[in-house]
């Protein structure tokens, strides 16, 4: 072939090559799958209420009658595996009034563990019916009712 014909063929092919350029693939709109730690939820096995806690954060004597001057302790027993999470204990009176609220960060564990909470009022807890609500991520995961009786 003559060089001028080759040059003309190459010149005609140039627009075809530039038009067949591939567009970049659009970014994926899917999210990554959650890791096992993110899919774990806090599972409360039990809530024990009493007047004292042991050194391993368990209630010594459970389901006692409470009087206004008592400190009410709650040992929240968590089923393994325990994920890292923030747990809130909300103490609520029968009329729905929040009497006291506290939070604690749960330490991740592959074993059963206990999270202690307590409620005391300097002037005493008025006699009546109460409920302890446990919240994780703003949602109630378990409740336990109890009564404070006049001495």
pLDDT tens for each residue of 13-23: 545 455 545 54
Distances (CA, A) of 52 to 56, 96, 148: 12, 26, 16
pLDDT at position 51, please? 87
Domains and CATH numbers, the chain: 36-148 (2.70.50.60)
Taking only the tens place, the pLDDT of each residue in 25-34 is 444 444 444 4
Q: Which two tokens stand for residue 65?
A: 């009658």
Taking only the tens place, the pLDDT of each residue in 98-141 is 999 999 999 999 999 999 999 998 899 999 999 999 999 999 99
Residue 88 has pLDDT above 70, yes or no: yes
Whether this prediction's pTM lies above 0.85 is answered by no
């Amino acid at each position: 072939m003559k060089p001028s014909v080759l040059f003309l063929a190459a010149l005609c092919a140039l627009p075809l090559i530039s038009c067949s350029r591939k567009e970049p693939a659009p970014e994926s709109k899917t999210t990554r799958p959650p890791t096992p730690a993110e899919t774990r939820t806090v599972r409360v096995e039990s809530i024990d209420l009493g007047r004292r806690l042991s050194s391993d954060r368990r209630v010594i004597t459970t389901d006692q009658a409470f009087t206004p001057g008592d400190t009410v302790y709650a040992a929240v027993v968590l089923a393994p595996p325990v994920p890292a999470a923030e747990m809130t204990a909300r103490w609520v009176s029968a009329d729905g009034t929040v009497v006291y609220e506290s939070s604690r960060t749960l330490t991740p564990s592959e074993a059963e563990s206990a999270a202690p909470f307590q409620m005391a009022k300097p002037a005493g807890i008025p006699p009546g019916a109460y409920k302890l609500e446990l919240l994780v991520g703003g949602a109630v995961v378990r409740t336990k009712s109890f009564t404070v009786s006049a001495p």
